[in-house]
Amino acid sequence: MGIALQGVIDWAGRYARAAEEASRAEADLVLREAHQRVAEACRRVPALPARNLFEGLQAIVLTHLAIYIEGHGVSVSVGLPDRVLAPFVGDGFDSEFATNLIAAFMLKLTANSALGRSTKTQAITVGGVNHRGEDQCNAVTRCFLDAAEIARVGDPHLFLRWHDNIDPAVKDRAIELLASGLSMPLLINDTPTVNGFMGAGFAAEEAWEYCVIGCNELGIPGRSAESATARHGSIQYLAILNNALLNHPDPDAISDMPALMGLMEQTMRKRLGESRAGGEKHKQRDAEAVPTPFTSSLMTGCIGRGQDLHVGMDHQVPALYERGLTNATNALAAIERLVFQERSIRMSQLLDAMRGNFVDGATRKRLLAAPKWGNDDERADRWAVALVRMRERVLDDIDRQFGHRPHFVCHVVRSMHHIDSFRLAASPDGRLAGTPTCESIGAQTGTARKGVTALLNSVLKLDAASQYRGGYNLNLTLPKASTTLAALRALVETFFSRGGQELQINCLNAETLRSAQREPEKHGDLVVRLAGMSARFVDLSPVVQEEIIQRAEAMV
């Protein structure tokens, strides 16, 4: 670790010398001054504390790039930069200069991520309160919001920590940007998130320092990063249900919904127990085979123990990913209605229809007509609650079995809903084989029949503090033309006041998206939020573009 730390300091020195040489060779006075400023900063940081905003941003950029080059293979979050840079706000603070500087900083983070060997969803988190209840928003916070509008890049994406006493100017600016269609900042609610960390054994002083560390995974700078790796397994609820049914020797012997849920729990328990054992071996193997001494030196406990972050951090928390909750919920609601309430189809007949990819269409039509998650309808919503409680029951037992701390679960999708389409047969929710599953914890596109408030009411039935300590992703697409600032503010405030954890809001116009497909050269600054990651719309594949358009059309 000492060698790695000195190596980064020496590396900054080489940047300083290179910038000095470039300055001497540069005829343009503006560019010459820019090179000189870089040289001066790199002679100081990161070896010594930054003295101004430029040096602070330069230190973060160099450290960020060094972590990427070291190559641990996951996103590299820059934590809570508005708090780190707050000391440089004072008399004479030039917000316009700072905003432009931060926009350039965001572009540099985008360039840095090209060296990563895996995921590219970097997060910047601003705002929030500290453990004393003091709002941490400052002039730099506002500059980050304004810089996101200038830079208009999908990566890094910007999260704003929301709480009851957030600076009104920051709140208003965030709502304004979202209503304008920027799709940033993404919003995360302090109260359930912090309660989740404290429930996992973190002290309040630590928990209130949390940030987003990937597409929507939660962590604490220097203290917790496990939710970004999901080393201890992944839960695809729909896959568990499909396998339990399609592999059953006598499906008509499944007598009722409790019997079906018991089969799912048995399958889940076996898989997650195996995943936990494999994850522990994987951690040790990574620490030995691909150690990350520079990154580890920045994590609490690793220097004192002389160990890699995979095994040496103070907090070792088992973490898992999940997805498919929406589809499994809809599938269970459909099975309950058709098989056990109406008795209009036997389980074996349903499975035959699934194996045939619903070729006749009649069975699928009845499945699609069943109650759906996201409509504040207990006939469907109670199955989502039952699935999450099942998962917690299983994981609590596994925690005790392995002597582990309370686990983290993060609802992460990214592009996995498309990958799942190739892995999963047709399913009891009426989904055809080869078609994507839901892209977030919200409703399947086209099934939120009672509007956005009903959708949010469904999600509120899940207890984020105890059931999503790693975070969840909720994509919310609203029609841009009819979404007012007042309506959007009320929606966000009400959802968060009732315990909602996270919102990813797109205010979109379907025709604008169609126009961007036809003339991409005119829409290079159109940023959209996907399933846990942001991107310029024109950079997306036609398949994903259509997915975004369908969401926009469904909400009109």
pLDDT tens digits for 40-97? 999 999 999 999 999 999 999 999 999 988 877 678 899 999 999 999 998 889 999 9
pLDDT tens digits for 393-427? 999 999 999 999 999 999 988 778 888 888 899 99
pLDDT tens digits for 420-471? 888 899 999 999 999 999 999 999 999 999 999 999 999 999 999 999 999 9
State how beta strands 534-536 and 527-529 pair.
antiparallel
- Do 196 and 464 touch, CB atoms closer than 8 A? yes
Residue 335 falls inside a structural domain: yes
> Average pLDDT, stretch 498-521?
94
How much of the chain, in percent, has pLDDT values that exceed 70? Answer: 98
Please list the alpha-helical segments (H only) found in 113-256: 139-151, 168-180, 190-199, 204-207, 237-246
Question: Helix or strand or coil: residue 211?
Answer: strand
* Closest to 450 in 3D by CA, of 379, 381, 377: 377
Q: Mean pLDDT over all residues of the chain?
A: 94
pLDDT tens digits for 147-156? 999 999 988 9
Burial 143-174 (b: 16+ CB within 10 A, else e): bbbbbbbebbbbbbbbbbbbbeebbeebbebb
179 band by pLDDT with thresholds 50, 70 and 90: very high
| Cis peptide bond upstream of 156, omega within 30 | yes
> What is the number of domains present in the chain?
2
Question: In the prediction, which pLDDT does 231 show?
Answer: 82
How much of the chain, in percent, has pLDDT values that exceed 90? Answer: 84
Return d(Cα 119, Cα 157) in angstroms, integer.
Answer: 13
Burial 308-340 (b: 16+ CB within 10 A, else e): bbbbbbebbbbbbbbbbbbbbbbbbbbbbbbbe
* Closest to 505 in 3D by CA, of 177, 174, 162, 183: 183
Q: Which domain holds residue 363?
A: 234-473
- Do 299 and 312 touch, CB atoms closer than 8 A? yes
120 band by pLDDT with thresholds 50, 70 and 90: low
Question: In the prediction, which pLDDT does 226 show?
Answer: 79
Residue 228 falls inside a structural domain: no
Residue 228 has pLDDT above 70, yes or no: yes
Return d(Cα 283, Cα 311) in angstroms, integer.
Answer: 7
119 band by pLDDT with thresholds 50, 70 and 90: low
pLDDT tens digits for 265-300? 999 999 999 999 999 998 889 899 989 999 999 999
Q: Name 403's Cβ contacts closer than 8 Å, sequence gap at least 6.
A: none
Residue 287 falls inside a structural domain: yes
116 band by pLDDT with thresholds 50, 70 and 90: low
534 band by pLDDT with thresholds 50, 70 and 90: confident
Question: In the prediction, which pLDDT does 383 show?
Answer: 98
Copy the structure tokens of residue 442: 């919200």
Copy the structure tokens of residue 91: 């008399």
Residue 272 falls inside a structural domain: yes
> How deeply is 403 buried, as exposed, middle or buried, from its count of CB atoms within 10 A (0-12, 13-18, 19+)?
exposed
Residue 238 falls inside a structural domain: yes
Return d(Cα 474, Cα 438) in angstroms, integer.
Answer: 11
- Do 402 and 396 touch, CB atoms closer than 8 A? no
Residue 195 falls inside a structural domain: no
Residue 5 falls inside a structural domain: yes
- Do 244 and 264 touch, CB atoms closer than 8 A? yes
Residue 36 falls inside a structural domain: yes
Q: Give whichever of 101-105, 310-314, 537-541 has the largest mean pLDDT.
A: 101-105
N- to C-terminal Cα distance for the chain? Answer: 55
pTM > 0.85: yes or no:
yes
Residue 139 has pLDDT above 80, yes or no: yes
What's CA 233's distance to the chain center, in Å?
17
